[in-house]
Amino acid sequence: MIRVAIVDDDPFVRAGLRAILSTAPDLDVVGDADDGAGVPDLVGAARPDVVVMDVRMPRVDGIEATARLTAAGGSPRVLVLTTFQLDAHVFAAIEAGASGFLLKDTPPAELIDAVRVVASGDAMLSPAHTRALFERFADAGADRRRNAARGLLGRLSAREREVAECVAKGLSNAEIGAELYCSEATVKTHLTRVFTKLDDMNRVRLALLVRDADGGGGESA
């Protein structure tokens, strides 16, 4: 069973998320909180594998709560929910260590699948939403980020770079395998090496890194 906790200041949203997630036979909603301030106690008591986290909350927001969990080490994975597709807070949440993000109007089946993906140690990357996020921040420090990104990606082998570029397209491991004519297990092995070489980077950050190295949308260097 995947243990899930919900953090949102709206009681109706919490109830709705609980109802949706409880329909999955492999998900167990073990607790909830109405503010980021309650996350440490919630995590300590309920021991969730995944925290479904709202961004905007009155006292401690989802960004700060995520950063605190990440800093504590050995923390559950965080899946951020937001109302706005171009919400700058989502970018900050990913930087704080979140494993992915979804809009609150995401269909129930996709939300359940996202929790499973995050719990497995992967990251949830929605291609359409990620493209919008890329565009939102494309002009901020582009040259600096491009040079830094290319330096990091220079650590990878040619095959590992191909895998990284597929991740940036929003492809799943199975889709990457089909694209590169290799097994899903081989893709996972390449990704493990990529994440290790890039200092424990996750899937979402890797996609952002590839995008930065490409200059925000051009062809790879």
Residue whose C-alpha is closest to residue 78's, from 91, 63, 89, 88: 63
Query: Taking a C-beta distance cutoff of 8 angstroms, is the pair 213, 221 a contact?
Result: yes
Q: Can you list the positions of beta strands (E) in 58-212?
A: 77-82, 100-103
Mean pLDDT score of the chain? 84
Name the token pair of 218.
């051009």
**Which residue shows structure tokens 């952002």?**
208
Rounded mean pLDDT of 43-64?
91
Per-residue pLDDT, 190: 95
Neighbours of 53 (CB within 10 A): 28
| End-to-end Cα, the chain, rounded Å | 43
pTM to 2 decimals? 0.64
How far apart are the C-alpha atoms of 184 and 187, rounded to whole Å?
A: 5
Percent over 90 (pLDDT), the chain:
48
Query: Could you give the 3-state DSSP secondary structure of residue 28?
Result: strand
* Domains of the chain as residue ranges with CATH: 2-124 (3.40.50.2300), 141-213 (1.10.10.10)
DSSP code per residue over 207-220: HHHHHHHTTTTS--
Query: Could you give the 3-state DSSP secondary structure of residue 199?
Result: coil
Per-residue pLDDT, 221: 36
Q: Report which DSSP code applies to 54.
A: E
Distances in Å between the Cα of 28 and the Cα atoms of 12, 35, 69, 76, 142 are: 19, 20, 20, 14, 42
Query: Lowest mean pLDDT: which of 17-21, 46-50, 207-211, 213-217?
Result: 213-217
Residue whose C-alpha is closest to residue 123's, from 195, 190, 175: 195
